[in-house]
Amino acid sequence: MRIGIDIRYLSHALVGGVHYYVKHLVPALWEMGSDHEFVLYADRKAALELEQWPRHVAVRYLDYRNGLSSVANDLLLLRWAMAADRLDLAHFPANYGFAPPGVAGVVTLHDEINIMPLPAILGGHAKQPRTMAMMTYLHFVSRLTLRRAAGLLTVSQYARQQILRYTPRFPPERIAVTYHAPPPDLRRIEAASVHAALRERHGITRPYLLADGLKNPAVLVRAWQHLPAELRANYLLVFFARRQPWPAVDTAVQAGFARLLLRPPRDDLLTLFSGAEAFLFPSWIEGFGIPLLEAMSCGAPVIASDRGAIPEVVADAALLADAEDEVAFAQHITSVLRDQATAERLRTRGYARAAQFSWPQTAQQTLAAYERMRNR
């Protein structure tokens, strides 16, 4: 089969879940699909993150001059390039895309956000004109994608259910679940000197619990006040974030019981996960929840919300509570910090659960879905 894949997320200097998916899935696909031909489509907005590829893979570059170039590539130029390459199937791994006539189009829709009613989408985002214009555009191209796609991939059973909730006419048999997986560099950092250097560098003076400052940190700040006094005195709350976090994080830092690491390097993040007494993830909604895999792979006991795909991803390897229940989070934190048996049980189960996900497995499932969807 001759397979085209839109990899522009790897030439836009982006971060986040979709970037993570494209970055790790594409090399796994060409490794597991050596009997297929792959044509990858990037643009020239930024340097392509892929440095080399095997002989059965070709890379095409689309022009990029400004933001309107992305729209032109989305709607016309990428389709023309794919048509010229005489593909059998085109995969769009970033929520939307349009295959040329006669080519089966497969789209990975990571969650339901882009296809929800537009007022609900805009209500959940900042009201700056640029943000509202972008969300409106993504809504309409994602909705149009659903009318034309031969099939959809998504990253959890929860996400599949939500997609069907908002698109009840889309045939359920044409939506396949292919999970995320841990990246190859994910490992527990054991070296005491590495941990000591990180703690000194960031002023982490006590054992700590780790959390993402973008994932509902306010409930953790409230939960902190419900912890026993000796735990509040002996532990810190450490937040990381890839951009400025919610105001509750600053409140906690100013109060002295938290630290914030903004855009930490990858090695520092792995060290943080490896040294944490627990990883706290009270997210409101997740289509998958990549930080859960990172925490479990690095041996951090997980305490998380019970929303979205989180219960599906962690199975029995975490303590769960409602995302807004600070009392339940405080109880779980107390249990992990006071009971080593509980912490060790979660750690052991976390290693086992994370090991059930792999990019070769996801690539094999993706290739099998290609075959099915091509033949519809």
Read off the pLDDT of residues 223-267 as tens digits, 9 standing for 90 and up. Answer: 999 999 999 999 999 999 988 899 999 999 999 999 999 999 999
Buried b (16+ CB within 10 A) or exposed e, 327-356: ebbbbbbbbbbeeeebbeebbebbeebbee
In a domain, 187, yes or no: no
Residues 200 and 157 in one domain: no
How much is the pLDDT for 232?
97
What is the predicted pLDDT for the residue at 185? 80
Q: Is the residue at 290 inside a domain?
A: yes
Query: pLDDT tens for residues 156-169?
Result: 999 999 999 999 99
Position 37 scores a pLDDT of: 98
Residues 66 and 207 in one domain: no
Same-domain pairing of 77 and 215: no
Range with lowest mean pLDDT among 124-138, 144-158, 329-343: 124-138
Structural domain includes residue 251? yes
With 90 as the cut, is the pLDDT of residue 130 above it?
no
Say if 186 falls within a structural domain.
no
Q: Is there a contact between 286 and 318 (Cβ–Cβ < 8 Å)?
A: no
For residue 48, the model assigns a pLDDT of 96
Half-sphere exposure of 38 (CA within 13 A, CB side): 26
- pLDDT tens for each residue of 173-201: 999 999 999 988 888 999 999 999 999 99
**Token duo for residue 157:** 């059973």
Q: 258 and 137, same structural domain? A: no
Residue 328 lies in a domain: yes
Query: Tens digits of per-residue pLDDT, 31-64?
Result: 999 999 999 999 999 999 999 999 999 999 999 9
Q: Are residues 165 and 228 in the same domain?
A: no
Burial class (CB in 10 A: 0-12, 13-18, 19+), 266: exposed
Predicted pLDDT of residue 122: 85
Q: Has residue 3 got a pLDDT over 70?
A: yes
Look up tokens 């735990």; give the residue: 231
The pLDDT of 295-322, averaged and rounded, is 97
Q: Are residues 210 and 153 in the same domain?
A: no
Q: In this structure, are 245 and 148 located in the same domain? A: no
What are the tokens at 188? 């527990």
Q: At what angle do helices 266-275 and 192-202 cross, to 10 degrees?
A: 110
Which residues form the domain of 308?
192-354
365 within some domain: yes
Residue 121 is predicted with a pLDDT of 83
Structure tokens at 223: 């939960």
Q: Which of 98, 97, 127, 124 is nearest to 113 (CA)?
A: 124
Window from 14-18, 72-76, 300-304 with minimum mean pLDDT: 14-18
Per-residue confidence (pLDDT) for residue 64, from 0 to 100 = 96
Strand partners, 236: 208
Q: Do 60 and 125 share a structural domain?
A: yes
Shared domain check, 134 and 69:
yes
Confidence at 149, pLDDT banded by 50, 70, 90: very high
Does 107 reside within a domain? yes
CATH number at residue 364: 3.40.50.2000
Looking at the structure of the chain, the number of domains it has is 2
Q: Place 22 in a pLDDT band, splitting at 50, 70 and 90.
A: very high
Alpha carbon distance 93, 79 (integer Å): 15
Model confidence at 125, pLDDT cuts 50, 70, 90, reads low
Q: From 147, 38, 155, 37, select the one nearest 99 (Cα to Cα).
A: 147
Which are the contacts of 129, defined by CB distance < 8 A and separation ≥ 6?
none
Enumerate the H helices of 167-280 as residue ranges: 192-202, 217-224, 229-234, 247-255, 266-275
Q: pLDDT band at 148, cuts 50/70/90?
A: very high
> What's the mean per-residue pLDDT of the chain?
95
Share of the chain above pLDDT 90, in %: 90
Alpha carbon 342 to chain centroid distance?
27
- 284 and 370 inside one domain: no
* Shared-domain flag, residues 160 and 101: yes
Q: Give the pLDDT score at 126.
A: 63
**Residue 58, in any domain of the structure:** yes
| Strands, E assignment, the chain | 2-6, 37-43, 57-62, 89-92, 104-108, 151-154, 175-177, 208-212, 236-241, 258-262, 279-281, 302-305, 318-321
16 and 88, same domain (yes or no):
yes
| Confidence band, pLDDT 50/70/90 cuts, at residue 364 | very high
Contact 155, 177 (CB under 8 A): yes
* 176 in Cβ contact with 369 (< 8 Å): yes
